[in-house]
Structure 1
Amino acid sequence: MSSTLNTSTLKFGIITDIHFSTTSEPAAAITTAADLLGWLEHCKKQNVDFLFQLGDLIKGSEEHSQEELRQATSILKEFPGTIHHVIGNHCLALTKKTLLNALGLPAPYYSFTAKGFHFIVLDGMDVSIHNEPETAEERQTLEYFLARPEKHDYCGAVGVRQKVWLKKELDTAERAGEKVIVICHFPLLPETTDPKHGLLWNHQEIVDILASSNAVTACISGHYHYGGYALKNKIHFVVLPAFVTRHEHPCFTHGIVELESDGIVIRNQQNTVVSNLSFL
């Protein structure tokens, strides 16, 4: 590993699948807001470097999506630091342009570096029913998966341009001696989800791209509400449980992630270690 890697601990808060709703019972809405504020307060006390919101911020109700987004982002603005957002399938009840503006994102997929770790945030809805295909390959991908109902039309795929960008990002990070953490709303392995929730349509292709780089250490996702884990090609694939199902097993509201040069530790809202993974 290059000496450019900063070995100091990087700590960030993480949450997924909030499914913020304005149409639920008033008591439930109040509890949701209070629990989100509790997450932000916990992260402040933990002195995190930033936060990650892994997608499905809103429920995506047909008539209430704009208000869901307004209220959810209003709560998140209580955090004084940076929040990195991921666009999930429920979010696309609104246009990507609306989401990018509201969430302060430069693009649906992006990257950044912090303390020697290079984060690559994927757009799993790049090729989906919400986007017009940009290439013949993307149109073929869309038609292929839409013809297979078991693949779910609420899932999506990483498109051609994004794949080219991903390969360049991995190459740059590897040459810089940076460890890569991939972030995607959708799980990338079948063993970390179930048939009902599904996963990234072209998951195998993306996993192969990640495996071709020696820099990738972990991939963190949401979408599958009950969480999952698998190790493949020396990459840790972690799927975090959903905030919206926090009252069900495993009762996970949010996580605090600690990254060091040799591994990753994830603690839950009670500061209990739920994952302690060494980089291979």
Structure 2
Amino acid sequence: MELSSNPVFTFGVIADIQYADIDDGFNFHGTRKRYYRSSLQLLCNANRCWDQQLIKPSFILQLGDIIDGFNKKYGASERALQTVVGEFSNYSTRVHHVWGNHEFYNFSRSELCSSVIDSRVHCVRVGDGVMSDDVYAYHFSPAPNFRFVVLDSYDLSIIGREQSSEKYKKSFKLIKANNPNDNLNQPPGYNQWQGRFVKFNGGFSQDQLDWLNKVLISADKKEEKVIIVSHLPLHPLSTDSICLAWNYDKILSILNSHKSVVCVMAGHDHDGGYHLDTSGVHHLTLEGVIETPPDSDAFGTVYVYEDKMVLKGNGRISDRLLMFQ
């Protein structure tokens, strides 16, 4: 795909690194191979590519699951995190970290809020830009007329929340009402979209939805183009149903009511996915590094123009032209 000259800005994107210093293994169901050690080398490949580009990315979006949950079992969570963050730190580009389920397998929410992957420190937290410290959601503008909104898709969750908290109780009630299995990582099988009600997914509180609506109202008035960033995919046609956010329907209703929203970028589904919805919003789910063989790659660079975004993919990730409607 040919690139036009002089993009407004560029950024790198990578998802589901899930690094662990352990031998290769398989997913929960034993059907998909995972390359735990070599995921670090694939991140190194991505960083080297971004660093050598003529137009270096303004920032990197790391879409969640930076290290694997197995690190907790071996007491290696902090060491693994420092290893991956250290690889990012070899290059000067700023990284915006999204939190996924594997972050919460390794750390409590309070630990993450004071960690090196709390990217809110990059932002001026004033006005409608502030979400409560309890919720990892924020927005930033890398260039005039463009805004990125990072969402906390585990705001409602039974991982990462104290069992005594109201959000945990609400989340547990919600998942049990939709999943009769004793093992809540086993999806219910009686409805295609019902499969999203599993322990490794989550959703958005009403407070976060209200905050998002206010941010988008402001973006509409400023005639900005908004890219939504989430670990969990938000459209059922952009992912396997087992990877979908619990209350995707509520957040889609908000996104589709605002002319400013042009794209949603997510991870979690290691196969990736894409859908252009009826409102002209691109829903792009990035393929995961963790299930990418060592002789391939899984990262991309996005070139942003006034009328489009161009994704130049590497390895498993395909090139895409994302025109703004």
**Partner residue of 1:102?**
116
Deviation at 1:161, TM superposition (A): 1.7
Q: Which digits, 9 at most, give the CA deviation of each residue in 1:166-224, with x for residues without a partner? A: 011101111111100000001111222224x4211010100100011010000011111
Deviation at 1:35, TM superposition (A): 2.1
**Partner residue of 2:10?**
11
TM-score norm. by structure 2 comes to 0.76
**Partner residue of 1:54?**
63
Local SS of the residue matching 2:282: strand
Deviation at 1:154, TM superposition (A): 1.0
Contact 1:146-1:152 within 8 A present in 2 as well: no
**Partner residue of 1:114?**
142
**Partner residue of 2:174?**
144
- For 1:88 and 1:271, locate their aligned partners in 2 and report how far apart those are by CA, in whole Å: 21
Local SS of the residue matching 1:247: coil
- For 1:267 and 1:220, locate their aligned partners in 2 and report how far apart those are by CA, in whole Å: 15
The one-letter code matched in structure 1 to 2:22 is T
Q: How many residues align?
A: 270
- For 1:215 and 1:138, locate their aligned partners in 2 and report how far apart those are by CA, in whole Å: 32
Deviation at 1:276, TM superposition (A): 0.6
**Partner residue of 2:290?**
244
Deviation at 1:135, TM superposition (A): 9.2
Deviation at 1:122, TM superposition (A): 0.4
Q: Percent identity?
A: 28
**Partner residue of 1:222?**
267
Gaps in structure 1 of 5+ consecutive residues? 1-6
One of 86, 110, 116 as aligned partner of 2:98: 86
Q: Which digits, 9 at most, give the CA deviation of each residue in 1:17-65, with x for residues without a partner? A: 001112236xx66633322112111111221111010001111123332
- For 1:247 and 1:224, locate their aligned partners in 2 and report how far apart those are by CA, in whole Å: 16
Q: Following superposition of structure 1 onto structure 2, how do residues 16-27 of structure 1 map, counting pairs within 5 Å?
A: 16-24=15-23
Structure 1 residues 95 and 262: alpha-carbon distance in aligned structure 2, compared to 1, 3 A threshold: same
- For 1:205 and 1:38, locate their aligned partners in 2 and report how far apart those are by CA, in whole Å: 38
**Partner residue of 2:216?**
170
Structure 1 residues 72 and 15: alpha-carbon distance in aligned structure 2, compared to 1, 3 A threshold: same
Gaps in structure 2 of 5+ consecutive residues? 1-5, 25-34, 121-132, 180-186, 188-196
What RMSD in Å do the two structures reach over aligned CA positions? 2.6
**Partner residue of 2:322?**
277
Contact 1:138-1:160 within 8 A present in 2 as well: no
- For 2:249 and 2:65, locate their aligned partners in 1 and report how far apart those are by CA, in whole Å: 23
2:248 aligned with 1:203:
yes
- For 2:220 and 2:319, locate their aligned partners in 1 and report how far apart those are by CA, in whole Å: 29
Local SS of the residue matching 1:102: coil
Local SS of the residue matching 1:169: helix
Deviation at 1:260, TM superposition (A): 1.1
Q: Following superposition of structure 1 onto structure 2, how do residues 32-47 of structure 1 map, counting pairs within 5 Å?
A: 32-46=39-53, 47=56
- For 1:148 and 1:66, locate their aligned partners in 2 and report how far apart those are by CA, in whole Å: 35
Contact 2:235-2:244 within 8 A present in 1 as well: yes
One of 161, 166, 173 as aligned partner of 1:131: 161
2:264 aligned with 1:234:
no
Structure 1 residues 242 and 133: alpha-carbon distance in aligned structure 2, compared to 1, 3 A threshold: same
